[in-house]
Every structure is written in structure tokens, then in C-alpha cells.
Amino acid sequence: MTNTALREPTLADLLPISDSKDYWQHAACKGDPNHEAWFPYPSQDFDYARAICESCPIRRECGEFAGRTGQSGVWGGHEYDRGKLIRD
């Protein structure tokens, strides 16, 4: 067994590469190990994720993708619930 097999999955592993158009390789969150920060509880802020999104070159595409495909969590610096924008 290799170290790669043992490592924790990163956020990039969770991104839907089937819709990629190579966008996701530019994701600022790629490799971020802090998974919970991207799926906050309603009582939690998402300042950590939002700060990373602010410098992301695919921010607009990411938010559009989340809305179009019904994603939940922080995408494009905003929080979505099944594709609906719930926190700006």
C-alpha cells in the first residue's frame, strides 16, 4: 500500500471532474485539506472558504456550476443548498 492510498481525500477529489473543461485544475481550493470548511453548518461562518474563493481564477464558473448542477456547500465564494444560493 502506498502513501497515496492512505491519504485523506482533498476537496479537489470531491469536485465533479466530468464537467471540468479543465476548469478545476485552476481551482484555488485544490488540495485544501480542510473539508468541513466547505460544507458549513448553518450556524458556522464560511470566512475560511470565502477567503480562498476570493483569489480563485474560476470563481464565476464555479458559482454557475453549483447553481446549474444543484450543488451544496461553498462554491464561488457563496453557499448553496442543492443549487440554490442561500448565503452570499
Report the interface residues with ligand SF4, using CB under 6 A. Answer: 27-29, 52-53, 56, 58-59, 62, 74-77
Minimum CB separation from ligand SF4 for residue 54, in Å? 8
Minimum CB separation from ligand SF4 for residue 7, in Å? 19
Which residue lies nearer to ligand SF4 by CB, 7 or 54? 54
Which residue lies nearer to ligand SF4 by CB, 7 or 51? 51
Distances (CA, A) of 56 to 3, 12, 29: 29, 13, 8
- 15-22 own/partner pairs: CB under 8 Å, 24+ apart: 16/65, 16/69, 19/65, 19/69
Q: Which amino acid is at 59?
A: R
